[in-house]
Amino acid sequence: MTGIEKLKNTPRFDMVRKPIKQKFYLKPLTWILSYPDVIKHRLKVTKVGMKGVKPPYLLLCTHMAFMDFKVTTAAIFPHRANYVVAIDGFIGREMLLRMAGGICKRKFTNDIQLIRQIRHVILKHKDILALYPEARYSLIGTNAVLPASLGKMAKLLGVPVVMLNMHGNYLNSPCWNLTPRGNRIAADLTHLLSPEDLKTLSVETINARINEAFMYDEYRWQKEQNIIIDHPQRAEGLHKVLYQCPHCLTEYRMESKGSRLRCAACQKEWEMTPLGELQTVVHASDENSLVVEFPHIPDWYEFERVQVRAQVRTGTYLLKIPAVVDALPNAKEFIRLGTATLIHGMDGFRLEGNIDGTDFLLEKPALSMYSCHIEYEYKGKGDCIDLSTLDDTYYIFPKEGDFSVTKIALATEELFAYHSNGNLSRG
């Protein structure tokens, strides 16, 4: 049986099944699994305006690392919550996650069923609904694009909106290098909007307040808190995010090892200090090489965004590359489909090919996705993006050419902004 045939005959994840109220015997287990780590990292939770705020409420959380779930568990103690979790989080443990209150979501899809599930938790269970609306780990320690539908959903639910803004989780294990650094962490738990606010405020004002509450910068917080991270591999993998040299402007030739970044094209090299800043250590051949372009690391990432934005605005952005495609129809296993062509251009995504004699086509128009989910070295298979329909999620691993999944993510956001006249909800 070919991969396409297997996918066609495989049952899909049951997205309609009602979420389960977290089993009482699992609540102590979540504490046991969470508290050793948060104690180890010296978690400090600061509560603002939370006196008298009890479930049910909508809990909006920043998203930086797996540690987030443990911090969330500690922050809402002794209450329980239902969590919205991406489908790959259910692999091999669907029943356990369902009993723990997990609600499955395929990333960056317009899923009306999810709203029904959230309403069920809030109105029937009268529990906390924990949502990570950035929908992926922070790539560079700063806040990501939020869906414009958040304000409308909050208004529809009519319960308190609470914000959990976490600090240090990204610094401990950034998505480009998951080796723990061991630094201390913190979190702010803030009552953001009351039911009365939701009745009187416009959706636009509610979104503005949510976006403001989501603003964070891990590297700035590190410097302000004087957190020293002298891990010998602290910069290793950073080139996955910082893929374009700001000195010679060459793409896809950045390298990293230990505490250093290097451009293989112009030979310029930077040192990542224990306080999370960049310093020039090896100079390129021209007289301007002494300049440290972006001492503050997130500024380099935003420089890359500006370069992508220019390509989008001039209509020149285009990626066309062969890619290996895996499908995830349910929480049991990935299905290897084969090789197709990934095209990402001004109209959005197009994945096409003839796989085992069957024509395959997946199209995602630019206005259908305000952002996209990417992974670095996903399950040892390489860097990938994933594109979802309501029934399937496709993990796409570009091969045999120059590319950066970080650039694809930036381009997805810039294409959406371009086609929607800049209507993006960024903090």
Enumerate the H helices of 142-236 as residue ranges.
Answer: 150-157, 169-172, 195-200, 203-213, 218-224
pLDDT tens, residue by residue, 262-321: 999 999 999 999 999 999 987 777 767 777 799 999 999 999 999 999 999 999 999 999
Q: State yes or no: pLDDT of 200 exceeds 90.
A: yes
Q: Measure CA 149 to chain center.
A: 17
Q: Where in the chain is the domain with CATH 2.30.29.30?
A: 317-419
pLDDT tens, residue by residue, 335-353: 999 999 999 999 999 999 9
Write down the pLDDT at residue 28.
87
CA–CA separation, 361 and 346 (whole Å): 18
Higher pLDDT residue, 97 or 308? 308
Average pLDDT along the chain: 94
Q: Which amino acid is at 71?
A: V
Overall average pLDDT of the 155-176 stretch: 98
Write down the pLDDT at residue 257.
98
Residue 427 banded pLDDT, cuts 50, 70, 90: very low
Residues of the chain above pLDDT 90, percent = 89
Neighbours of 148 (CB within 10 A): 16
Largest CA distance in the chain: 67
pLDDT tens, residue by residue, 20-30: 988 888 888 88
Q: Where in the chain is the domain with CATH 3.40.1130.10?
A: 16-224
Residue 172 banded pLDDT, cuts 50, 70, 90: very high
H or E element: which one contains 35? helix 26-40
Nearest Cα to 325, choosing from 317, 333, 334, 316? 334
Burial of 187 (0-12, 13-18, 19+ CB in 10 A): buried
pLDDT tens, residue by residue, 37-59: 999 999 999 999 999 999 999 99
Residue 426 banded pLDDT, cuts 50, 70, 90: very low
Overall average pLDDT of the 241-253 stretch: 97
DSSP summary character for residue 337: E
Tell which CATH architecture fits domain 317-419: Roll (2.30)
Nearest Cα to 188, choosing from 37, 31, 61, 30? 61
Residue 260 banded pLDDT, cuts 50, 70, 90: very high
Cis bond before residue 78 (omega within 30° of 0): yes
CATH no. for 16-224: 3.40.1130.10
Q: State yes or no: pLDDT of 423 exceeds 60.
A: no
